[in-house]
Amino acid sequence: MSTSIRIEAGPVSAEATLNDTDTASAIASALPIQASANTWGDEIYFGIPVDVGLEDARETVDLGDLGYWPPGRAFCIFFGRTPASRGEEIRPASAVTVIGRIEGDATVFKQVRAGEAVTIEIVEG
């Protein structure tokens, strides 16, 4: 069963849905999480207290995908090209597990700056 979450990052608040992967379940169990945003091109990432391996690894992702990056134990929000992208693709630094999707326009995350506070919590209801 999927889990609805709210992500607040700097001036942005967005809802998202975690998928049914084991990785997403582990992250849902760790919520709420507070962190500080790092940026890499049109990606926000930050460390979280979850340590799992890759599950259905993806080298490229879609606009609005949420990912888990095992080398950094990081939660990633993809809203455009990264420095590793080729052409119009969205390419993480290395393979990620896709754990969910932003609902609506993910490009609102372009407003978030490195160092801004990020909170992820489950939406009850």
Q: Is the CB of residue 119 less than 8 Å from the CB of residue 31?
A: no
pTM to 2 decimal places? 0.97
pLDDT digits (tens, 9 = 90+) for 5-46: 999 999 999 999 999 999 999 999 999 999 999 999 999 999
Q: Identify the pLDDT of residue 19.
A: 97
Order of all β-strands in the sheet with 117-122: 33-36, 117-122, 3-9, 12-18, 97-102, 65-69, 74-78, 43-47, 38-39
